[in-house]
């Protein structure tokens, strides 16, 4: 081989080697820059180890932990003694965190750069009895406390008085994005939850702050109870309006689940199945709120006989939990055509949204007249200032959940007139509706004043 050819070949090899090294260097540098700066899709979830998050060994994300404005050395363990729960997270570079409660771990999403910092904030979980007992201690300093235990065997904790600070935001919004406020009735003890396995829990009971309109509790054809409806909640027209179809038998196209589904259509408004146009597209219950509501067993019992003098808050509470229904007394007294419905009567109902009990209204009385009023029949609440000391006094005539026995008919239900006392009304009439629900025990409430401008936030 000629020397010139050898030199040329050697020169070519060196050139190829240098090019290869250059290419490798460029690729390596590009990969490094890409990992550091370029966009890429990634989701990182961090598993539990010894009840703590295993967040080590990944260069994409690192964490800081805070309890309010106090930095923590490590992430709080699940079930920690400080009762800290995940509140929210802030991440750099547009990353986000979805908290996986069952794994007690964050799912980091939308990673675009390595070395991204996420700050996880934790706060004290305040819910149910703990929240209200805490507020009750504060209220002891006031002359007129907002929270008091009732005198039932359950010992429920209730908001009382004419204007307690008990407003709550459960995620409902109107068409303009404004908060639709609810109010806390109290913490009800020993509520039967029927989501999956039945169990007894203490749950926060809430009521919408404003009415959703005036509608019949129930209506019927002329041949059934004279067209005046049937006082059985498990098949009532208003129950079907408020709840999903999964909890009732569909017998008519009118009103079914319109409030639950944010729909519009026709709703019952008078006797003989008369109806009117109704629209819940802007004030129905939101999907976020639905996810916070428990499916529970509601009590639909009543008194054995009609006697207005017996309608004290305490006696009514136990009547609601009795085995008496709204038809038997009518049958025993020979009610005839006003008592001829063939509807099966029940004293409990499993569902999501109901109305307030008469006893809720009775036990909401406060101020200096509380002790006097609780000894009286709620029929007399318009006397002695009871109605003006009761925050559940309605703006317009309002339905309750509970049927009432009557000798001549099986279509009466307790309602609360605008004057603020307990009375009866035939269910065909259009009266004000305020939905009532129980929050799931897993729901936390934010620290807040509870005023309408600073409501508790359920999450």
Interval 213-271: pLDDT, tens? 999 999 999 999 999 999 999 999 999 999 999 999 988 889 999 999 999 999 999 99
CB atoms near residue 367 (< 10 Å): 17
- What is the pLDDT at residue 24? 52
Q: State pLDDT tens for residues 358-412.
A: 999 999 999 889 999 999 999 999 987 899 999 999 999 999 999 999 998 999 9
Over 70: is that where the pLDDT of 54 sits?
no
- What is the pLDDT at residue 9? 54
Q: State pLDDT tens for residues 113-148.
A: 888 889 999 887 776 777 777 777 766 666 678 999
pTM for this predicted structure? 0.77
For residue 59, what pLDDT band results from cuts at 50, 70 and 90?
low
Residues near 438 by beta carbon (within 8 Å), at least 6 away in sequence: 188, 191, 203, 204, 205, 206, 293, 294, 296
Over 50: is that where the pLDDT of 432 sits?
yes
Over 50: is that where the pLDDT of 34 sits?
no
CA torsion sign for 143, 148, 150, 153 is negative
**What's the mean pLDDT in 274-288?**
96
Please indicate whether residue 131 or residue 190 has the higher confidence score (pLDDT).
Answer: 190
Cβ atoms of 270 and 254 within 8 Å: the answer is no
Q: State pLDDT tens for residues 169-179.
A: 999 999 889 99
Nearest alpha carbon to residue 125 among 455, 449, 443: 443
Q: State pLDDT tens for residues 292-303.
A: 999 999 999 999
**Token pair in block for residue 13:** 């090899």
């Amino acid at each position: 081989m000629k020397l010139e050819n050898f030199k040329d070949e050697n020169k070519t090899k060196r050139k190829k080697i240098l090019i290869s090294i250059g290419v490798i260097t460029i690729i390596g540098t590009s990969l490094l820059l890409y990992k550091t700066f370029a966009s890429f899709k990634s989701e990182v979830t961090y598993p539990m180890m010894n009840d703590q998050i295993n967040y080590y060994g990944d260069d994409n994300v690192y964490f800081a932990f805070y309890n309010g404005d106090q930095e923590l050395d490590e992430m709080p363990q699940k079930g920690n003694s400080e009762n800290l729960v995940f509140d929210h997270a802030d991440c750099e570079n547009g990353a986000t965190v979805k908290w996986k409660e069952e794994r007690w771990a964050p799912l980091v999403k939308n990673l675009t750069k390595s070395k991204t910092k996420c700050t996880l904030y934790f706060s004290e979980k305040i819910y149910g009895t703990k929240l209200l007992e805490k507020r009750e201690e504060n209220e002891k300093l006031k002359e007129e406390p907002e929270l008091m235990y009732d005198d039932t065997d359950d010992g429920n904790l209730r908001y009382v008085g004419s204007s307690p600070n008990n407003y709550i935001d459960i995620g409902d919004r109107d068409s303009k994005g404004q908060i639709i406020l609810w109010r806390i009735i109290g913490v009800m003890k020993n509520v039967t939850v029927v989501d999956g396995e039945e169990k007894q829990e203490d749950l926060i009971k809430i009521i919408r702050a404003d009415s959703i309109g005036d509608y019949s509790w129930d209506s019927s054809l002329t041949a059934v109870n004279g067209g005046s409806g049937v006082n059985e909640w498990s098949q009532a027209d208003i129950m079907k309006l408020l709840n999903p179809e999964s909890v009732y038998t569909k017998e008519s196209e009118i009103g079914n689940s319109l409030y639950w589904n944010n729909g519009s259509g026709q709703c019952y408004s008078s006797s003989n199945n008369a109806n009117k146009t109704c629209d819940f597209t802007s004030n129905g219950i939101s999907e976020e709120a639905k996810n916070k509501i428990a499916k529970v067993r509601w009590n639909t019992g009543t008194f054995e006989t009609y006697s207005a003098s017996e309608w004290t808050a305490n006696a009514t509470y136990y009547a609601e939990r009795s085995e008496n229904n709204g038809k038997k007394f009518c049958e025993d007294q020979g009610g005839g055509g006003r008592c001829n419905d063939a509807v099966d009567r029940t004293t409990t109902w499993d569902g999501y949204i109901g109305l307030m009990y008469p006893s809720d209204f009775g036990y909401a009385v406060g101020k200096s007249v509380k002790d006097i009023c609780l000894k009286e029949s709620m029929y007399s609440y318009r006397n002695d200032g009871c109605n003006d000391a009761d925050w559940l006094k309605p703006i317009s005539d309002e339905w309750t959940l509970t049927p009432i026995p009557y000798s001549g008919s099986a279509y009466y239900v307790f309602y609360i007139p605008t004057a603020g006392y307990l009375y009866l009304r035939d269910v065909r009439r259009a009266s004000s509706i305020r939905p009532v629900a129980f929050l799931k025990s897993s729901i936390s409430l934010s620290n807040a004043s509870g005023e309408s401008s600073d409501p508790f936030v359920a999450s």
